[in-house]
Amino acid sequence: MNKKGLLVVSFGTSHHDTREKNIVPLETLLAEAFPDRTCYRAYTSRMILDILKKRDGLTLPTVPMAMEQLIQEGITDLLVQPTHIMNGLENEQMKEDIMLWKNQLDSLAFGAPLLTSTRDQEDLIQAVMEEFPPLKETEALMFMGHGSSHYANTVYAALDYAFKHQGHPHVYVGTVEAYPDLDTVMEDLKREHIRRVTLAPLMLVAGDHARNDLAGDGPDSWKSILESHGFETSCVLKGLGEYPGIRKLYIRHAKEALPL
């Protein structure tokens, strides 16, 4: 008889409050959606795992550690659901790590990251826009994604286009480390005569990037740079894991996962 497991894989965060608001509830809801599976967790960011261990004495498993544990506990049917935003470097490495144990499993299935299909973009847009009031003519909403050197980074520009195609002309998507960057988005803001910008993270958690790169008081934050260009700003430090519609999207992905 197969013993079933569910492994929820996250990049992770060093901030306890946003972990409790975003990652933990998502893990709980996924576990509840699969009551016949024993739930495990893993983080992919070695930097975050090191911070948690050194600062807090908290040891959370890497993907290999979690795989060793669940194999030892007799799991033979494994469903893996990442909380990653896209099919980028972290997700590819996670899959490579898990595939090393494939021969010890009777069944292995991977759920898709958040933004994988066109439908996912549509569902994300609906989920987040339900949480914001309508924008006035001179107002904009700008989401900050992380960005990546991976080719999957094109999902951010595609999402920006999708917002506008679905009737949200003044919603923008930028990234910290790739394209579209803040300068690119600011060109659009100026062209559209925007005066007030609401900033929000397009990340699972509202961690370091949201608190420092997005909303920080330093001169290099998006908030400070926008204000130096004459825009009024406000910040909503809410991770995607806090949106009910986003949680449902991850659960849908887990339920749609097919064994390899």
Confidence category of residue 182, pLDDT binned at 50, 70, 90: very high
Rounded average pLDDT over 5-23? 92
3-state secondary structure (DSSP) of residue 43: strand
CA distance 81 to 26: 11
Q: Is 170 a catalytic residue?
A: no
Structure tokens at 73: 């506990």
Which pLDDT tens digit goes with each residue over 217-231? 899 999 999 999 999
Of 38-47, 158-167, 200-209, which gets the smallest average pLDDT? 200-209
The predicted pLDDT at position 63 comes to 96
Number of Cβ within 10 Å of residue 225's Cβ equals 15
Instruction: Using CB atoms within 10 Å of the CB of residue 260, give its burial: 0 to 12 exposed, 13 to 18 middle, 19+ buried.
Output: exposed
Question: Residue 201 and residue 210: Cα distance in Å, rounded?
Answer: 6
Residues 88-135 have pLDDT tens digits of 999 999 999 999 999 999 999 999 999 999 999 999 999 999 999 999
Task: Please check the confidence at residue 1 and state whether its pLDDT lies above 80.
Answer: no
Catalytic residue selected from 146, 168, 170, 253: 146
Q: Report the distance separating Cα 127 and Cα 200, nearest Å.
A: 14
Q: Give 175's pLDDT tier (boundaries 50, 70, 90).
A: very high
> Considering the chain, what percentage of its residues have pLDDT values greater than 70?
100
Q: What is the pLDDT of residue 18?
A: 87
